[in-house]
Amino acid sequence: MGPFEYFEPATVEEAVSLLKKYGEGAKILAGGTDLVVMMREREIKPRYVINLGRIAGLNYVHLDGDKGLRIGALTTIAGLERAPELKSSYRIISQAAARLATIAIRNMATIGGNLCNAAPSADMAPPLLALKGAVKLTGTAGERIVPLEEFFIGPGVTTLKPDELMIEIQVPAVPAHTGGMYLKHGVKGAAGLAVVGVAAVVTLDIRDSVFEEVDIALGAVAPTPIRAKRAEALLKGQKISDGLIEEAARVTSDESSPIDDVRGSAEYRREMVRVRTWEAIRGALKLAKSV
Amino acid sequence: MKQRLELKLNGEMREVFVEPWRTLAEVLRDELGLLGTKVSCGTGDCGACNVLLEGKVVSSCLVLAPQAQGREILTIEGLATPEGLHPLQEAFIEHFAVQCGYCIPGMIITAKACLDENPDATEDEVRLAMSGNLCRCTGYVKVTEAIMAAKEKMKKSVSGTGYGKGR
């Protein structure tokens, strides 16, 4: 690994000015659990490493009634796993956090890092996509808010400009009678990368037993984490039935475009998308009924 | 270029000069001669290099040295006291939880973090906490037994979880 020049900015402004100065040659270190592996395996050789770890005030989970949820980009995955703010409406986030890698990784890895690395299998992406999350980026040109759906461009590629960094994740308020479930299908349990990740968030119209709102997001089965919009449209406004959920799971599977790799064949992944989506919708539905 | 690195390591202030691209695991082993911490996969999958950073278990092969600047580190060498071994170390011996031993320092450090946080951990919670520590020779049954036995010992002892505390 190395050599590189190492910086520890004390503020976001300082970090942005370092990024402006060193741009493409620089890499941001948050928790380091992905970056250090990539540097060691020589997949990348940054000339400058900018560690955000000493910047205060980017590690928080704020729940603000009708305004929704805001998470600081440097909040660790273990922090999310345990956050009391994520035990009810936003439980799907802590559920996904608990399924990300090992405890030793979760203690270092950050939510901003997980999203900015933009691995198709990133565990935090499907739940935040299904919750219609957005990310706040800051750079030389100022701040901007990007819906998470528009943030991912390809494997490892995002809309982040070379002089920008992510500072916050925002999630809108969750209506009553909403349940969410993230299922990670892996070969090594949580410790391995997801072979398939499925997040489903369901809002019920309790009186009419109708799907008022459904959001389904997938990980590890396309070049980026994706939403399954055709399946969402199929369910939205419809009366709840087992047949319809099965159909939506099939449509979701059709919307995925997985590849063959060491963790599973494309065919296997498509089938697991169907199975896990069926499970996730039913699980989310059950939770929605209970709140 | 080398930079000054200060660590509160196993209760003692230590100072070394290292390049910023060295990992904490390398600093511990190569610069400070603490060979108890092992390195195996180098990707955070195996847990052999686990140490406590500010009381939290981390994979030291994924921590850059300067990330640990000024922070408190506990390695396997810091567990025993002049009075004797840590209850986890004793229990691993008593329960034959060791075969080749390579994974054991990481196992014991992870187990300590688990019990420090949750002194009443159930067997399931222990298994979950240990799921990021791989053993390639024997298995996990005796390891789990040892940790459950150590848990009882740590609860009974007057100093309680005081073993290795603050170090």
**Structure confidence at residue B166 (pLDDT):** 39
CB-based contact (8 Å) between A101 and chain B?
yes
Contact check, Cβ <8 Å, A108/B59: yes
Domain shared by A166 and A189, yes or no? no
In a domain, A70, yes or no: yes
Provide the number of CB pairs (under 8 Å) joining chain A to chain B.
Answer: 86
Pick the residue from chain A with its C-alpha nearest to B52. Answer: A104
> Shortest Cα distance from A32 to chain B (angstroms)?
7
Parallel/antiparallel/unpaired status of strands A5-7 and A48-51: parallel
Residues of B in contact with A190 (CB under 8 A): 131
Rounded to 5°, the CA angle A60-A116-A173 comes to 45
Determine the pLDDT at residue B164: 47
Between A65 and B42, where is the model more confident?
B42
Residues A188 and A163 grouped into a single domain: no
Contacts of residue A53 in chain B, CB cutoff 8 Å? 67
pLDDT of residue A190: 60
Residues of B in contact with A104 (CB under 8 A): 44, 47, 50, 57-59, 110, 132
Which tokens hold the place of A61? 């989970």
Residue identified by tokens 């520590």 is B133
User: Are B109 and B47 part of one and the same domain?
Assistant: no
B11 and B45 co-located in one domain:
yes
Decide if A20 is inside a domain: yes
Q: Are residues B110 and B55 in the same domain?
A: no
In a domain, A47, yes or no: yes
For A102, which of B21, B42, B44 is closest by C-beta distance? Answer: B44
Q: Are residues A278 and A197 in the same domain?
A: yes
Q: Give CA–CA dist A286/A281, Å, rounded.
A: 9
* CATH number for A31: 3.30.43.10
pLDDT of residue B165: 46
Do the chains contact at A107 and B56, CB–CB below 8 Å? yes
CATH code (residue B94) = 1.10.150.120
Q: Do A108 and B58 touch (CB under 8 A)?
A: yes
The answer to whether A280 touches A198, Cβ cutoff 8 Å, is: yes
**B70 shares its domain with B117:** no
Q: What is the DSSP letter of A279?
A: H
d(Cα A276, Cα A194) in Å, to the nearest integer?
Answer: 12
* Enclosing domain of residue A14: 5-51
**Cis link prior to A3 (omega < 30° from 0)?**
yes
- Looking at the structure of chain A, the number of domains it has is 3
Chain B: which residues have CB within 8 Å of chain A? 3, 19-23, 42-45, 47, 50, 53, 56-59, 61-64, 66-67, 110, 113, 129, 131-133
| Domain count of the fold of chain B | 2
Nearest to B132 among A37, A39, A104 (CB): A104
Alpha-carbon gap, residue A151 to A170, rounded angstroms: 13
* Whether residue A196 is found in the same domain as residue A272: yes
List the CATH number of the domain containing A207: 3.30.390.50
Distances (CA, A) of A188 to A52, A263, A267, B29, B131: 31, 10, 19, 29, 10
Residues B44 and B91 in one domain: no
Q: Of B47, B77, B107, which one is at a domain's C-terminal end?
A: B77
Give a yes or no: residue B162 inside a domain: no
- A245 in reach of chain B (CB within 8 A): no
**Could you tell me if A189 lies within 8 Å of chain B, comparing CB atoms?**
yes
Range of the domain at B147: 87-156
Among all residues of chain A, which has the CA nearest to that of B67? Answer: A53
**B27: in domain:** yes
- Facing A104 at nearest CB: one of B20, B57, B64: B57
> Does residue A56 lie in a domain region?
no
Positions of E strands within chain A: 5-7, 26-29, 48-51, 61-64, 68-72, 134-139, 142-147, 152-154, 157-158, 165-171, 178-185, 196-205, 210-219, 226-227
Q: Exposed, middle or buried, A54 (CB in 10 Å: 0-12/13-18/19+)?
A: middle
Residue A108: its chain B contacts at CB < 8 A?
A: 58-59, 62-63
Contact B132 A40 (CB under 8 A): no
Tens of pLDDT along chain A (291 residues) come to 989 999 999 999 999 999 999 988 999 999 999 999 999 998 999 999 999 999 999 999 999 988 999 999 999 999 999 999 999 999 999 999 999 999 999 999 999 999 999 999 999 999 999 999 999 999 999 999 999 999 999 999 999 999 999 999 999 999 999 999 999 998 766 668 899 999 999 999 988 899 999 999 999 999 999 999 999 999 999 999 999 999 999 999 999 999 999 889 999 999 999 999 999 999 999 999 987
Instruction: Select from A171, A192, A224 the last residue of a domain.
Output: A171
Gyration radius of chain B's alpha carbons: 15
* CB nearest to B23's CB, from A5, A36, A108: A36
Q: What is the ipTM of this complex?
A: 0.93
* Average pLDDT rounded to a whole number, residues B18-23: 98
- Residues B60-82 have pLDDT tens digits of 999 999 999 999 999 999 999 99
What is the number of residues in chain A? 291
CA atoms of A59 and A66, how far apart (whole Å): 22
The DSSP-derived string for A55-122 is -TT---EEEEGGGEEEEETT-BHHHHHH-GGGSSTTHHHHHHHHTSS-HHHHTT-BHHHHHHTT-TT-
On whether residue B167 sits in a domain, the answer given is no
A124 and A182 share a domain? no
Q: Contact A59/A97 with Cβ under 8 angstroms?
A: no
β-strand partners of B114: none
| Binary contact (B44, A107; C-beta < 8 A) | no
Q: Does A10 map to a domain?
A: yes
User: Does residue A227 sit in the same domain as residue A270?
Assistant: yes
Domain boundary among B36, B53, B77: B77
Report the C-alpha gap between A202 and A179 in whole angstroms. Answer: 5
Asked whether residue A156 falls in the same domain as residue A96, the answer is yes
A37 falls within a domain: yes
Identify all chain B residues contacting A5, using CB atoms and an 8 Å cutoff.
20
User: Where a domain ends, among B42, B77, B112?
Assistant: B77
Q: Which residue of B has its CA nearest to A3?
A: B21
Flag if B64 and A51 touch (Cβ within 8 Å). yes
Alpha-carbon distance values, A176 to A98, A128, A290 (Å): 24, 18, 10
Work out whether the CA dihedral A99, A102, A107, A112 comes out positive or negative: negative
Whether residue B53 lies inside any domain: the answer is: yes
Q: What is the CATH number for A90?
A: 3.30.465.10
Asked if residue B68 and residue B7 are part of one domain, the reply reads yes
How much is the mean pLDDT over chain B?
93
